[in-house]
Structure 1
Amino acid sequence: MNYFTKKGFTLRFTISLLVITAILLTMLTSITSAVQVNRSSLIDNYLNKNESYAKKLASNTNELLITMQENIGAIAKISGREPEIDPQLFDDLFQENTQYFNSIVVADNNRIIRALSPRTIGISVGDKITSEQSKMAIQLKKAFISEPYRATTGRLIILISAPIIDNSGRYKGFVGGTIYLEEKNVLSNMLKEHFFGDGSYVYVVEKGGELIFHPNKKRIGQSVLQNEVVQKVVLGQSGSQRVTNSGGDRFLAGYAFEPSSAWGIISQTPAQVIDEPMHNLVKRMLLVSLPFLLLILLLGWWVANRIAKPLHTLAQFSDEAMLQPVPAENIPDIKSYYYEVRLLSQSVKIALQNMNQDLTHLRNEVKIDELTGLANRRAFDEVMAGWMESNVPFALILMDIDHFKQVNDTYGHVVGDDCLRYLARIMQLMASEDDLCFRYGGEEFGILVKHCGLGRAKDLADRLREQLARTKSPAGTSITLSAGIAAFPVHGRSAQQLVERADEALYQSKKDGRNRTTVSSLPGA
């Protein structure tokens, strides 16, 4: 079968190729769409899961911190009732709280240690605590959770303290429970189970952006404030988003803020976790659809040949007829098919004619000012006429840039055009969706304010005028404008009357010194 001629491809080959290409592209589009939908679904699922998980951990952490503060408070009450603390009693109290604290100390109001447990932490009774956090505990005289700091023992710790008040109500010092961030602690005990085979993990930051828990203990104490998620969570926000960490790794992160400590908890999953499911999805779709694809290709090839056969026959006949006359009886009998082709040809011609008419109509209907993008004078006339015909109340604001000729003379017409576009943008920002902003001509603009009285129209004009006066234009200085307002139907029932009244009010604004708004007086006033 010859699919090529000296003049190019045959129609039969072209149609066949198009059918097959369309089928393959449809197949590719279906697979791509399925992959994109599933990828988006997986991403949303991981983001939502991590956000929910982070919030759950934040709630658990809040409950844990409340319990720890209550326990430290209870020890502080016991210490306030006793003139001297029994070391054995204090050891027993610590043993009851070993699941929460790595150590507990009692210090007087001079920060001298009066009791501690265990006694192997590198400091002794009688030593003075010199950390800024201990000074803060004395100064605040209330319960607080410190930021991470290096203790005199060299450990990176967090202090949870409560004040000691004796029976007479005097402040005697504080009880402090410590969390050793770089060692096994209450946070690691609570969060160590939250790791998954897909690479997901949890980390915790304090309000300054420093890590206080991380599966890699070497990173504890480092600042990660450059991370977008950390920046949000330390500001008290909770949510989820895709994020790239400092190492360039992409994650699907959920984050939650824990208010009592101002800590942020982040649960994140590597973004590549969705790659394998996507690959498996593509493989399954290809395997399932391959038999159907082959069947459709064969069917498409057959249909393409059936469609092209009468046209191919006609083309061969035409080619032969160009070389020599052909008797009428030799014309191939393609009556039924030829009718369809002729009808299609006629339909295409009619469609093209209609399209050209539509394009001409669209060109005539263009009502946009090319320089500013606002409606032009034609659009203004038609909209105002339509509102008047429907008896819709509205206000007309006509505006003129003051001394615009000086702008063109001083800075040139290019800057002048930029100023016109600048005014157009501000008009569109300040007007409502129902209003029509238009360029009347030159440096004269206007707004048709639908369903509006004179008061709201004047307020809009004044706000626009004041905004221009206090901001720099493309000329480097502010520009001002004068405005005149008339309303339908109180100032007239025809377009000409309304424009004349608004124009007279505009002229009055110019006459009165410019940069002002004038409302047209009521007829007979």
Structure 2
Amino acid sequence: MSKSPTTKKYWSLVSRMRLGLLVLFIPVLVLGGIYYLHMARSLQQELEQRLIANNNQLRESLVEPYLAELERQFTLIYGQVKAEDVSGSELGHTNIYLHDWRLYKGLAPDLIAIYLGTERRQVLSYPDWDQNPAYDPRTRPWYQLAMTHPGRLVWTEPYYDYTTGNLLISMAKTLTDPQGKTLGVFAVDAQLQPLSALLNRPGEDGYQSIINASGRQLAHPDPQQLFKMMPHPGWLRRFADDRGLFLDESNRQFVSYSHLPEQGWVLMSIKPAASLNQTVARASLNVQLMVVLASVLYLVLAIVWTRYFKSMLNEIARMIRYSRDDPSATQLGDIRELKHIYAELAATSQDLHEVRQLANLDKLTGLYNRRFFDDQLAELLDEREPFFLAMFDLDDFKAVNDTFGHHTGDMVLKRVATLAMEQLGERGWVCRYGGEELVALLTGEDQGMIFALLDEFREQIATLVWREPGLRVTLSCGLVASGQAREAKELIVTADAEVYRAKRAGKNRCYQAGAVAPTPDPALGSV
């Protein structure tokens, strides 16, 4: 019996193509899965690092500068108190102190009260309050805390003033005589509500909060939550390091924190974990799409994907460049997957721009502030290019405030600042040096032309017409060339000396360093 021949089965071309595509798809699928897991983890780490960086940035650019400004204001007022006025049986020069404290409080709206108490149970405060005759400042927490740290500025525990609805904190420091004997304690009350507005903006995904060591909330987007216990006290045990981040699994919230050791506070940034999951989910969709397309057009997709990534990197680089140079020039890109990055870059750029503006501009006049002036002066000296430093001081400005009120004084400063920018701004930088003093850094080499420009500005100020009857504003000016001094401090002292020389000569005039002052001419009013 013969055997029938065995028939070989051959795969059709279509089957082979399908098998080839399947074999080709398997490594792509494996690599895609690995890539997805890696990208999901990288995105989560990136977003966590961004949350940590944002928390650190808020601490360094908003919270710490705000507290440092409160300390600076305290130190400024504290430095005016003289020991001999506190050491006697009666407080001396109380009217002067109350007048000055009223001025300080008007210039610093975050200050609520300024006061001092002595070992003799004497109390002086602004605003004044009806004191119980039995009131003893030595029993108050601010007094006792300062006495336990003599010579140091101390911060009390925040407290809620139920009469005004303000969350307050006190800064205090002991007053001593030249022999080191403690005479009393000087203190200032400041409000903490502005921190909540600085840290939180409407529409943000998540929020920022500040708590004290016991867990009470000192800053929160909801004013009703201020000074209440934090909703999750168990977090306190997780704030072991100086700064860090953790995920609260039960509440599905990421918490980034940073300690403020001097005050014993903790700055928290809370972000829902769902926002991170959504970002990872969007990335997952893109990876799945890539895998599907790779199974059909693998080689073509490799070329397209390379170009796509190059375009993405160029788009991010362009966005970063625009956002760094000028936030108003920032444009949204065309890559859909980077939509959230565009938004983050735009928001971060705007935040940084606002912080730089707040750091460099004077709030009242709109001119550059002392901080910007110091930096710009140092930069000009380093560049060794010729320039001029001009210093202006409004004559008898205290009399303007006393006679016409501080509101009029502010209007005078604003109008003088506006005219200064119009007349001198194109030549350099005009800054508010402090109080009624302005300074200008003017580029150029022709001292005669610069001096004429300053004198013309002085004359324009002197001829301004004011709404208030009897109000006349003049200024005295000092000019010094950069070549006349080697250091910034020496330049400032020289220009200031010229201002005072002009004032002694009759005010309403400009003097320049190195020039001999002729006999004052009332008709000209300048030298």
Q: TM (normalized to structure 2)?
A: 0.43
Tell me which structure has the larger Cα radius of gyration.
Answer: 1
Higher relative contact order (CA 8 A, sep 6+): 1
Q: TM (normalized to structure 1)?
A: 0.44
